[in-house]
């Protein structure tokens, strides 16, 4: 009984899923489980089919695999299904009913001759070992399931516990896993929590996600982070300042606030939303327990990058944090009001009333407001 990695690294895509920057690439993970029967766990993006098939053949030579287990139908993991079936016509596809419905959409067929439909708790014997499937609806698509291999105490976790970054690039796990989580899964915290609960009775020693490294030591570190992220609890005591600036005056205000906070011993992260990776900013908003939004009044509303940023947050159920506002305006500053109203329906936010209004450029007044805001934020 062994699990072999047969996935591929993608160093070609610049924007993953059409929006996420991946300077260090990404991996599409696939695994081969070899017992009396042979199961392939998930496929890869079609552009990497040849490399994947080569990996499979290297392990199996001419032996055909018995099963393709499909944990997730998003094309980065499913677009090679049809090609695999053409290569191995005897293979059985194992997945949920909803996955087969999606296959009809993607491929025009649900592979009726090859399909094995499984549901929550269905077991599939491979010989000495057994795969058991657990449905994970909306983590982060409705058809998702995860698979547990009993003899190896291994969880094939679909996109959960995934991260950006190809496997030949080594970097801190949490930063790119957090950016992945809040970017892609963030809205579905409740569903992630219920999956974690569903799995809590399993003895898990190894997690094989669909992106990023296999996790096989110190699992409580990763599970604890996921519990926190799924329940929207902040991870770090500190302030994240997200700003936009047209002529540099709002930026000056944001930087002054940063200095004031740091001189009070507070950890600060700061981001120019127009120039830096938006998804890093989203990640930081969820990472820190306090958020300051600083922007310009624009078209009687707010600067577009700030609007986009706040929309990203509210779509992802931003909650449980302290928020303060800094606005700039030359004739009728009302950015704070707009930002506040955009966050109106967000749960459990503590809004700091001490705001900062910059009239075009910093002056004695607005400097004093920034000092007062710093005091309020560290209270």
Tokens of 152: 């190896």
Residue 188's binding partner among another protein, Fe ion, none (Cβ under 5 to 8 angstroms by kind) is another protein
Q: Is residue 65 within 8 Å of 39, Cβ to Cβ?
A: yes
Closest separation between CB of residue 348 and another protein, Å? Answer: 18
Question: What residues line the site for another protein (CB under 8 A)?
Answer: 98, 135, 137-138, 142, 188, 190-191
Sequence-distant (6+) residues with CB within 8 A of 255 are 270
10 binds Fe ion per the rule CB under 5 A: no
Q: Which residue is nearest to Fe ion (CB)?
A: 74
Binders of Fe ion in range 48-87 (CB under 5 A): 74, 76
Q: What sign has the CA pseudo-torsion 79, 80, 83, 84? A: negative
Please select the residue that binds Fe ion; options are 35, 159, 283, 284, rule is CB under 5 A. Answer: 159
Q: Whose Cβ is closer to another protein: residue 144's or residue 177's?
A: 144
Closest separation between CB of residue 137 and another protein, Å? Answer: 4
Please state, in angstroms and rounded to a whole number, the distance separating the CA atoms of residues 194 and 120: 13
End-to-end distance of the chain based on CA atoms, in angstroms? 57
Tokens of 73: 């139908």
Tokens of 333: 């500053």
Q: Whose Cβ is closer to another protein: residue 123's or residue 190's?
A: 190
Please state, in angstroms and rounded to a whole number, the distance separating the CA atoms of residues 69 and 53: 16
Q: Is residue 228 within 8 Å of 235, Cβ to Cβ?
A: yes
Residue 238's binding partner among another protein, Fe ion, none (Cβ under 5 to 8 angstroms by kind) is none
Residue 37's binding partner among Fe ion, another protein, none (Cβ under 5 to 8 angstroms by kind) is none
Residues in the interface with Fe ion (CB under 5 A) total 4
Q: Whose Cβ is closer to Fe ion: residue 35's or residue 74's?
A: 74
Measured CA to CA in angstroms, residue 69 lies from 19, 183, 348 at distances of 28, 26, 40
Residue with tokens 């704070």: 336
Residue 66's binding partner among Fe ion, another protein, none (Cβ under 5 to 8 angstroms by kind) is none
Residue 185's binding partner among another protein, Fe ion, none (Cβ under 5 to 8 angstroms by kind) is none
**Contact set with Fe ion (CB under 5 A):** 74, 76, 159, 210
């Amino acid at each position: 009984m062994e699990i072999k990695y047969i996935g591929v690294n993608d160093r070609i895509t610049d924007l993953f899923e059409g929006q996420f920057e991946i300077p260090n690439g990404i991996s599409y993970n696939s695994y081969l489980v070899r017992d009396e029967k042979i199961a392939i766990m998930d496929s890869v993006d079609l552009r990497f089919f040849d490399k994947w098939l080569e990996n499979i053949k290297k392990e199996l030579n001419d032996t055909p695999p018995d099963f393709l287990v499909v944990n997730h139908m998003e094309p980065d993991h499913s677009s090679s299904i049809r090609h695999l079936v053409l290569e191995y016509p005897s293979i059985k596809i194992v997945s949920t009913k909803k996955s087969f419905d999606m296959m009809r959409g993607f491929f025009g067929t649900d592979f009726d001759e090859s399909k094995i439909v499984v549901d929550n708790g269905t077991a599939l014997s491979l010989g000495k070992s057994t795969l058991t499937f657990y449905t994970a609806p909306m983590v982060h698509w409705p058809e998702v399931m995860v698979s547990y291999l009993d003899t190896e105490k291994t969880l094939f976790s679909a996109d959960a516990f995934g991260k950006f970054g190809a496997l030949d690039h080594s970097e801190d796990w949490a930063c790119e896993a957090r950016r992945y989580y809040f970017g892609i899964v963030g809205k579905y915290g409740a569903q992630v929590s219920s999956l974690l609960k569903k799995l809590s009775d399993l003895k898990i020693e190894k997690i094989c996600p669909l992106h990023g490294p296999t996790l096989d030591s110190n699992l409580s570190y990763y599970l604890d982070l996921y519990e926190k992220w799924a329940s929207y609890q902040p991870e770090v005591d500190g302030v994240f300042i997200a700003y936009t600036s047209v002529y540099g005056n709002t930026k000056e205000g944001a930087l002054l606030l940063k200095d004031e906070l740091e001189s009070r011993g507070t950890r600060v992260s700061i981001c120019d939303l127009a120039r830096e990776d938006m998804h890093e900013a989203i990640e930081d908003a969820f990472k820190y327990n306090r958020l300051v939004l600083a922007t310009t009044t624009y078209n009687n509303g707010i600067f577009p990058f700030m609007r986009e940023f706040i929309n990203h947050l509210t779509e992802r159920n931003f909650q449980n944090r302290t928020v303060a506002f800094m606005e700039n305006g030359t004739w009728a500053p009302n950015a704070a009001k707009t930002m506040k109203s955009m966050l109106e329906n967000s749960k459990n936010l503590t809004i700091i009333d001490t705001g900062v209004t910059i009239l075009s450029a910093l002056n004695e007044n607005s400097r004093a407001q920034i000092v007062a805001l710093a005091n309020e934020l560290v209270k």
